[in-house]
Chains A and B, each alone.
Chain A
Amino acid sequence: MDALVTDDYYSLSLAQVGLAALLLLINVALSIGLQLGLTRSLLIASVRMTVQLLLVGLILEWVFALRSPLPVLGIAAVMATLAGVTAAGRTHLRFAGMYWDCLLSVMAAAMLVTGAALAGIVQVDPWYNPQYLIPMLGMVLGNILNGINLGLDRFTTSLFDRSALIDTRLALGATRWEAARSEVREALHTALTPAINSMLVMGVVSLPGMMTGQILAGAAPVDAVRYQIMIIFMITAAAALGSLGAILLAYRRLFNARHQFLKHRLEKR
């Protein structure tokens, strides 16, 4: 493959990517020189990253050529499932039904926000156009995953550590909601803090990857910025919705209708 110069865009050939791989030698040299013992994992990680991305490139090429909604939705569902499973798989404590709760929250939040953006704001035609749906969904899912993971981890850990306090509240006549309210609030706070922090420094400390990508691909910076702003609002809303859903579903599993806190349902991994 030769390097192609399109209208306003330099395409990369495989040979050029190979040249870029030489940059890895800096890391390898550092690892060997300072005896960091990271050479092996660096190489494995680099190979994995390259293979995964090349495969995704092939799949996306195929997906973008699709002209019917079902396969696109199928891929979206696979992405959402992976996000849900990952969100549930990375907390310190777990409880029965957690995977389903995370899956449901991820699906609902992602569908609502991505759907609203595609059909309502950008008004893509057709609405399932994979060139828009897949990247947007990907960004939304990544942030829901983080939000749920942080929020759920905080929620279950606080309940576990403060079980005596929760029981005291219940014993004094609190309803289950009154007993868990401050823990729910704290967990949501934890889930949303990274999204709020990143908005605060956006464009000043960090240049978002999507915007940079669009600019590299030849979009006008003002245009790229508008897209980025929309995406940030989308991912913040989706993270809030997803983590709220997961936390409330967890609350329903850990407190029964008899206003009892079922601490024994929480297990350490």
Chain B
Amino acid sequence: MKPTPSTLTATSPAGPQAPGTQRNAASVLLQAQNLGLQDQGRWVWRRLELAITPGERVALTGPSGSGKTALMRALAGLMPASEGDILFEQRRLQLWPMPQYRSRVGYLAQRPELGDGDTVEAALAAPFAYRSRRHQACPHQWIQHALEMLGRNSHFLQRRVASLSGGEQQITALLRLLALQPCVLLLDEPTAALDARSARDVEALLETWHGEAPDRSWLWTSHDGAQIERMSTRTLELPWMP
């Protein structure tokens, strides 16, 4: 099958913006150059150009099967792309020690696993035992504050992970990710499992997180047009490749 070339298009709720490639390289935080992924002979996406600048909030959209999750996973360094480069802070992904890179670029899967740790508190603390986090302490105060924002008190920390609803698991996974203080968030439909109110709480928490440091950015996949409008300044659309 002959692959069809395609480029990630950039549009904004406020009108079209310059495509990622034309941005000033020095101000780019996370960048994909000529990125392609092949799966069993078919190009899921190819010749992707993407650039996220410090502080930017970008939405990633596209029809089902266009490879949004695969792109997120490739950007998180969880799977190798078939061609092209990913750069973080102008440094190629291959040159980053992976655990260190993933401490800066945090990925939240669509259906995250909490696995390690019986209680919410243990699950939140588990990543701080990793070698790459040894210098970092679990920010208990920040977690308390975030829980309040989500309308939950400290009893939530003692809940057993196995007893959490899908939405609560999603919130716990998000809290765990934010507690690690990454610089870029890759959020794969972070509110898909939540009711409308919890979704708004999560949005508020992420807004707060974003405001805490000037370079915090995210790439957010969502099928909810209103949410995209609220949570992003720019939209990247993945085309579907036959």
Q: Which residues of A contact B102 (CB under 8 A)?
A: 170-173, 259
Q: How far is the CB of A253 from chain B (nearest CB, A)?
A: 15
Q: Which residues of B contact A171 (CB under 8 A)?
A: 76, 78, 102, 106-107, 109
Q: Which residues of B contact A169 (CB under 8 A)?
A: 115-116
Instruction: Indicate whether B112 reaches chain A with its CB closer than 8 angstroms.
Output: yes
Question: What sequence of 0s and 1s flags, for each residue 90-115 of chain B, a beta carbon within 8 Å of any chain A beta carbon?
Answer: 00001000111011001101011101
User: What CA separation (Å) do A178 and B94 show in the bound complex?
Assistant: 20
CB <8 Å contact, A162 and B131: no
Instruction: Indicate whether A212 reaches chain B with its CB closer than 8 angstroms.
Output: no
Instruction: Indicate whether B180 reaches chain A with its CB closer than 8 angstroms.
Output: yes
Q: Which residues of B contact A260 (CB under 8 A)?
A: 77-80, 98
User: What CA separation (Å) do A260 and B81 show in the bound complex?
Assistant: 12
Instruction: Indicate whether A175 reaches chain B with its CB closer than 8 angstroms.
Output: yes
Instruction: Indicate whether A165 reaches chain B with its CB closer than 8 angstroms.
Output: yes
Q: Which residues of A contact B77 (CB under 8 A)?
A: 258-260
Size bracket of the B interface: 20 to 34
CB <8 Å contact, A168 and B130: no
User: What CA separation (Å) do A260 and B75 show in the bound complex?
Assistant: 12
Instruction: Indicate whether B62 reaches chain A with its CB closer than 8 angstroms.
Output: no
Which residues, 115 to 134 on B, are CB-close (under 8 Å) to A? 115-116, 126-127, 130-133
User: What CA separation (Å) do A135 and B79 show in the bound complex?
Assistant: 47
CB <8 Å contact, A173 and B107: no
Instruction: Indicate whether B177 reaches chain A with its CB closer than 8 angstroms.
Output: yes
Q: How far is the CB of B129 from chain A (nearest CB, A)?
A: 8
CB <8 Å contact, A170 and B103: no
Q: How far is the CB of A163 from chain B (nearest CB, A)?
A: 9
Q: Which residue of chain B is the closest to A257 with respect to CB atoms?
A: B98
Q: How many residues of A contact B (CB 8 A)?
A: 19
Which residues, 178 to 232 on A, are CB-close (under 8 Å) to B? 178, 182
Instruction: Indicate whether A174 reaches chain B with its CB closer than 8 angstroms.
Output: yes
Q: Which residue of chain B is the closest to A258 with respect to CB atoms?
A: B98
Question: What sequence of 0s and 1s flags, for each residue 173-192 of chain B, a beta carbon within 8 Å of any chain A beta carbon?
Answer: 10011001000000000000
Instruction: Indicate whether A164 reaches chain B with its CB closer than 8 angstroms.
Output: yes
CB <8 Å contact, A258 and B130: no
CB <8 Å contact, B109 and A164: yes
Q: Which residues of B contact A182 (CB under 8 A)?
A: 116
Q: How far is the CB of A101 from chain B (nearest CB, A)?
A: 22
CB <8 Å contact, B80 and A168: no
User: What CA separation (Å) do A256 and B180 show in the bound complex?
Assistant: 24
CB <8 Å contact, B78 and A172: no
Which residues, 129 to 173 on A, are CB-close (under 8 Å) to B? 162, 164-165, 167-173
Question: What sequence of 0s and 1s flags, for each residue 254-269 of chain A, a beta carbon within 8 Å of any chain B beta carbon?
Answer: 0010111100000000
CB <8 Å contact, A173 and B79: no
User: What CA separation (Å) do A182 and B115 show in the bound complex?
Assistant: 11
Q: Which residues of B contact A172 (CB under 8 A)?
A: 102, 106, 126-127, 130, 176-177, 180
Q: How far is the CB of B64 from chain A (nearest CB, A)?
A: 19
User: What CA separation (Å) do A178 and B134 show in the bound complex?
Assistant: 13
User: What CA separation (Å) do A170 and B98 show in the bound complex?
Assistant: 9
CB <8 Å contact, B113 and A164: yes
Binding site for B on A (CB under 8 A): 162, 164-165, 167-175, 178, 182, 256, 258-261
- Extra contacts, 14 of them, besides A173-B130, A178-B131 (Cβ < 8 A), are A164-B109, A164-B111, A165-B115, A169-B116, A171-B102, A173-B102, A173-B132, A173-B180, A175-B99, A175-B130, A256-B80, A258-B80, A260-B79, A261-B78
Ordered by A's residue number, 14 sampled pairs between the chains whose C-beta atoms are within 8 Å are A162-B113, A165-B115, A167-B73, A169-B116, A171-B107, A172-B177, A173-B127, A173-B132, A173-B133, A174-B127, A178-B131, A259-B98, A260-B98, A261-B78
In the A-B complex, the 5 residue pairs with the smallest Cβ-Cβ separation, listed nearest first, are: A259-B98, A172-B127, A165-B113, A173-B132, A165-B115
